[in-house]
A and B are shown apart, each in its own frame.
Chain A
Amino acid sequence: MRRVNPDERAKIAFWLNGRRVSGEAEPRMLLTDFLRHVLGATGTHVGCEHGICGSCTVLIDGVAQRGCLTLAAQAEERAVTTVESLAGADGALNALQTAFQKHHALQCGFCTPGILMSFTDYFARNPNASEADIRAVLGGHLCRCTGYAGIVEALVEASRSGNPAA
């Protein structure tokens, strides 16, 4: 493993949504700050910085993780996937995003990227999730606008579509 001095900036490189990216950061820099302020990928949001609200959720090697509890250095040479990857190149929404719009599952949209990323991971592993399963996973996210009802409806519909994360 590469050793880096705590007070020195070092180059960090990984794959972000399939593209090779790199930037300089101190070892203590959070992955969320690196994504947002070094790489300019502002789709990932910061809501609490203590791992509870879930807004910052991204995939690292396909697994949902709290970006605010991850150091940028921990993403070195790994594949990071964020909300910016979900829509098609032409902007077309995927099944999960479409269901969110249809069921009014977002209002301010600030918590939404984290929820989308959690379920991108979860549905990939559990294509036939029940509503109870979905509610359990959604329990890892805070939303203050919607009261969750629309989010549950959207997730259930996306789950039933067979290919929710595509």
Chain B
Amino acid sequence: MSQVLGKPLLRKEDPVLLSGRGRYADDLPVPNGTVHAHIIRSPHAHATILRIDASAALAEAGVWAVVTGEDVRRISDPFLIALKPQINQWSLAVERVRYFGEPVALVVADTRYLAEDAAELVQIDYEPLPAVVDLEAARSPSAPLLHPEARTNEISVRRFSYGDPKGAFEGADARVALTLDYPRNSFTPIECYVVVAEYRPHEKSYDVLANFQGPFSTHAVMARALRVPGTKLRLRIPPDSGGSFGIKLSIFPYIVLAALAARITGRPVKWVEDRAEHLAAASSGPNRITEIEAAVRKDGRILALRLDQIEDYGAFLRAPMPGPLYRMHGAVTGAYDIANVEVTNRVVLTNKMPASLIRGFGGPQLYMALERLVQRIAIELHLDPLEVIKRNVIAREKFPYKAAAGALYDSGDYLRAVELAVGNGRLEDLKRRRDVARAAGRPYGIGFAAIVEPGMSNMGYLSTLLTAEARDKPGPKNGAISMATLNIDPLGAVSLTADVTVQGQGHATVLSQIVAEQLGLKVGDITVILELDTLKDEWSIAAGTYSCRFSPGAAVAAHLAAVRMRDKLAEIAAKQLNILPDDVEFADGMIGSRNNPDNALPFGRVAGTAHWSPVMLPEGMPPGLRETAVWSPPGLEPPSSEDRVNTSLTYGFVFDMCGVEIDPLTFEARVDRYVSMHDAGRLLNPLIAMGQMRGSFAQGIAAALYEEFVYDENGAFLSGTFADYLVPTVGEIPPVEILHMETPSPFTPLGAKGIAEGNCMSVPACIANAIADALGVKDVRLPATPRRLHALMAAAEPKRPPPTSRGGR
């Protein structure tokens, strides 16, 4: 019987944050003698660095050093990546720059103001090189090469085939094909990157504070770059972080850079990224061109899929890229029961900022293609798009369902979710609104999207990038390890640490609920400490907060630690109460007999026994109260020899539908009504879950209608301020009706799946479908800005497509 778990409890994090008492990275005290860094960045998309003359800057009082790529190359190694040929990247540009905003030199001075002054005195001569910005152009044999040693910009091509796609295409009633172009964007946390690094010369070790988000597999990448064992790179994560959304993985090159600067100057070095730097160079989701084709039966049943996915990772491939191409790989068939699939994945480099982690991570790109295709199937076969969805979704009785490319979907009832969402008059209402608008001459369309939301990545998924033979050499990679440690002190006070990084989700509240539930305590009795120290806390490579790993991962580890602690306390209490451990009940701060409420002891008394009176413990029981649980779910196997991979542990479901009206005068797309149905298994805290869905929805709207990193044909960056890169304000976010159902995951003890990424994946596709329906067009580019919609609607005028994140036209 659940007491606190599953309840919409208010967040215990809030009073501190609402009072201005948060402890974000830039709020924390720094060591005495800390000096401050400013980064000089490339003004070119592609150029050779001819000369860096720092003498005038170094002559200024208060300037400690000007660190260049040559310094960095001498004392550090390039970052490891998942691919050969090695694409060398250091924490500063070496010999040439490859994107606008690339770090070229680091000026270290007594204050940030002085460092920025001194930066103006550093003379850097460049010889510009031709830049390649468009990803299709980058594949051409005549394209300028970003990394001549790789001899190509298309650095990886992998083809996969599951089932019999060739046969299915040959025998199909029809083929439906579509080409999609997904843009570049980010979710720009309001707090930028912060690093404070110290070097201890006698130990040859680095001690770094940074608002890094994980995954901690990247710790190994940083330690290798610094040429130290992992224990010589102590990484500490502050208690609060001002948002992340995947973006704060990409602080890692700056962690290494600040560490090297600390070693060079002999002083602790602090660097705080500013917004201009963040927009130009922090991190972007990759843009992708997808050619997708379906083999279909006349009734709309999809027999086979063929995808050619070309993804643009910018100037370097950073670990763990090309994740977005492979994180969804096992689930490439989405919510549909499709046995035959052919996939080609291409990794392309261009003169743009490197792409990396971002909420949704490959999902928006995949579902934009898949869900737009499903609509096209309906149109070309003269069917209702909703019918096509219903005819193809995986039937309830097929779960657990093994998808063609290897994902093992844990649970779901997709058809019921769809019917619940369209029911209650919701779809009729949308149709009525559409008919009224159209009768008045206003373009109005209805869109749908049905998507599967993976939770907790298999750490081996990226190795699908390599051939089976290449994978064999280093040995298999797989699994996803979560850890949590529960402590009870001699007075019975309970504290928990876990391997997540705080980004604002409310994990401390949910973890408190999990522990309180087991121990019969109040949520307020549990102290949760989520600042993380790689030398003192429990972690493994999967640690961090990303890819919806909290509910299926760290939360389960905390649950297991609490169960183990409960069992231990029950045994201690049973001996003192003279009852059987199975008869012990934990409730209201007491531990006692289930059958005799008078036979009970205070929680703190029982806990204290383990510290003060080992003599009273059951025979063989170790004293003390500290339990570290490791949750490593079975089922996350390495990619098979046929390249099938179960990319995640849990798979939730989202079904969206919306009505979009396009203003015939301003060409603005207005979301008239939006309904989003979620099945994320069991909800651990519905209030916090709702917050995740609303936030994810807003980011989906941002990607669909507003945000894009834009470059011109020469690679000049055109989205350098928040006046150019349009983050939606309250006025741009429409209301959303969020619905729920729960089919608990049988693969985790808590039954909870991920929930924070689904709408990032579904909303762009759903809105694109509505716009296509409104305008009767096949090709909808996102973000669907008034300028783009005008270009679609005002076909009579000469077309002048605006610059895009592919660069130029």
Contacts and interface: CB of A to CB of B under 8 A. Distances in A.
A106 interface: yes
A53 B722 contact: yes
Contacts of B245: 144
Interface stretch (B42-50, B183-191, B397-405, B593-601): B183-191
B22 interface: yes
Contact of A48 (B690, B694, B722, B736): B722
B222 to A, nearest CB: 24
A84 B21 CA distance: 7
A141 B690 CA distance: 21
Interface in A35-77: 36, 41-50, 52-53, 55
A106 to B, nearest CB: 6
Contact of A148 (B18, B242, B733): B733
B759 to A, nearest CB: 9
A82 interface: yes
Interface in A86-120: 86-87, 91, 93, 97, 100-102, 104, 106-113, 116
Nearest to B188: A144
Given A48-B722, A109-B242, A148-B730, A101 B18 contact: yes
Nearest to B721: A50
Interface in B490-516: 503-506
B721 A108 contact: no
Interface string B691-729: 100111111000000000000000000000111000101
Interface in B181-237: 187-192
A100 B19 contact: no
A29 B10 CA distance: 39
A42 B24 CA distance: 9
A26 interface: yes
A68 to B, nearest CB: 10
A28 interface: yes
B731 A101 contact: no
Contacts of A142: 190, 722, 727, 729
A146 B695 contact: yes
Given A52-B723, A101-B11, A107 B695 contact: yes
B735 A149 contact: yes
Contacts of B11: 101, 104
A150 interface: yes
A147 B20 contact: no
Given A101-B18, A110-B242, A28 B26 contact: no
A28 B113 contact: yes
Given A83-B19, A106-B18, A101 B10 contact: yes
A52 B134 CA distance: 30
Contacts of A151: 730
Contacts of A36: 26-27
Interface string A106-148: 1111111100100000000000000000011011111111111
B14 A84 contact: no
Interface residues of A, number: 55
A82 B21 CA distance: 12
What is the size category of the interface that chain B forms with chain A? Answer: 35 or more
A152 interface: yes
A83 B20 contact: yes
B415 to A, nearest CB: 28
A106 B17 contact: yes
B240 A108 contact: yes
Interface string B12-33: 0111011111101011000000
Contacts, number: 177
Given A107-B691, A143-B190, A97 B19 contact: yes
A47 B275 contact: yes
A143 B698 CA distance: 10
A108 B275 contact: no
Given A26-B113, A104-B688, A106-B14, A44 B242 contact: no
B466 interface: no
B95 interface: no
A103 to B, nearest CB: 9
Given A49-B274, A91-B15, A111 B113 contact: no
A55 B242 CA distance: 11
A52 B14 contact: no
Interface string B722-766: 110001011101011000000000000000000000000000000
A100 B18 contact: yes
Contacts of B731: 135-136, 139
B695 A141 contact: no
Contacts of A44: 20
B691 A108 contact: no
Given A108-B241, A147-B694, A101 B15 contact: yes
Nearest to A46: B26
B587 interface: no
A58 B274 CA distance: 20
B563 interface: no
B729 A144 contact: no
Given A108-B191, A139-B731, A144-B699, A93 B15 contact: yes
B668 to A, nearest CB: 16
A150 B190 contact: no
A109 B729 contact: no
Contacts of A138: 729-730
A110 B189 contact: yes
A11 B242 CA distance: 32
B687 interface: yes
B691 to A, nearest CB: 5
Given A104-B690, A110-B190, A139-B730, A147 B24 contact: no
A131 to B, nearest CB: 11
Given A47-B275, A101-B11, A107 B730 contact: no
Q: Which among B13, B504, B699 has the greatest number of chain A C-beta atoms within 10 A?
A: B504
Interface of B: 10-11, 13-15, 17-22, 24, 26-27, 113, 187-192, 240-245, 274-276, 503-506, 687-688, 690-691, 694-699, 721-723, 727, 729-731, 733, 735-736
Interface of A: 26, 28-29, 36, 41-50, 52-53, 55, 82-84, 86-87, 91, 93, 97, 100-102, 104, 106-113, 116, 135-136, 138-152
The 4 closest A-B pairs by CB, nearest first: A43-B20, A108-B504, A110-B242, A109-B17
19 contacts: A42-B22, A82-B20, A83-B19, A93-B18, A97-B18, A100-B14, A104-B10, A104-B690, A107-B503, A108-B242, A108-B244, A109-B14, A109-B17, A109-B242, A110-B24, A110-B190, A144-B189, A144-B699, A145-B504
Given A42-B26, A144-B190, A147-B698, 4 more contacts: A46-B26, A52-B722, A104-B690, A109-B504
